[in-house]
Amino acid sequence: MAVYKHIFFDLDHTLWDFERNSQVTMEELWEEMLVQRMGTTKFKDFFFTYERVNDHWWGLYRKDQVTKEELRVGRFADTLKRFGTIDLYLADELATKYLARAPYMTHLFAGAIEVLVALRAEGYIMHIITNGFEEVQHIKLKETGLRDFFVEVITSEAAGAKKPDPSIFHYSMEKSAAHVKDSLMIGDSLGSDILGAQGVGMDQIYFNPKGVKHDLFPTYEVSQLDEILPILIKT
């Protein structure tokens, strides 16, 4: 078995429960700004649509097909449009309020803190590699109490490249004084985290809580965070 020294975690959808935090935030905004406008539309239908629209826009952003600002507003404008509302001012207001609130939500995946505590006690050096916005990701880490677990927090904005681009992994190695062969990537995205790490020869743990079917071959695969511990800590 490989001996790892540096562990690189993704943040959103891996440690920070993006879907749950997003839903809480969107439900607040729905009550404040949208419920009267949306007629008979139910929140669950609006949020279901928003999640899929948001995933699409993030996919475009990862491929550099839209800018950060276009993503920020476009996902809301596109969602509203699907319910018959074309209002860029409202979309911009939603985007501003969403980004002002969502990063302060503190729901983590089950076992996140316990796993980080155990890995730190075992002597692993841990870092974050994220495609999320620079200013937003640091708030999430601070508010959830995660920041002190990580030596380096590498964002795509700081690196000038997004996962799965090899550049962000090379930048992370240099920034953390790590080497690919003694490093491990843990993340939920097959396209960004797993293929990205494979592309530079780094081992990976695919965090797959939804049991997504796929034809890739990550080094390891887990459905719960605590399943990471038997892989990395031998008793």
Strand bridging mode 125-130 / 152-155: parallel
Q: Is 192 exposed, middle or buried (0-12, 13-18, 19+ CB in 10 A)?
A: buried
Q: In what order do the strands lie in the sheet with 220-222?
A: 152-155, 125-130, 6-9, 183-187, 203-207, 220-222
Q: For the full predicted model, state whether its pTM sits above 0.75.
A: yes
- The domains of the chain, with CATH numbers, are 6-17+108-232 (3.40.50.1000), 18-104 (1.10.150.240)
Q: What is the pLDDT of residues 67-107, one digit of tens each?
A: 999 999 999 999 999 999 999 999 999 999 999 999 999 99
For residue 1, pLDDT beyond 60: no
Q: What is the pLDDT of residues 40-61, one digit of tens each?
A: 999 999 999 999 999 999 999 9
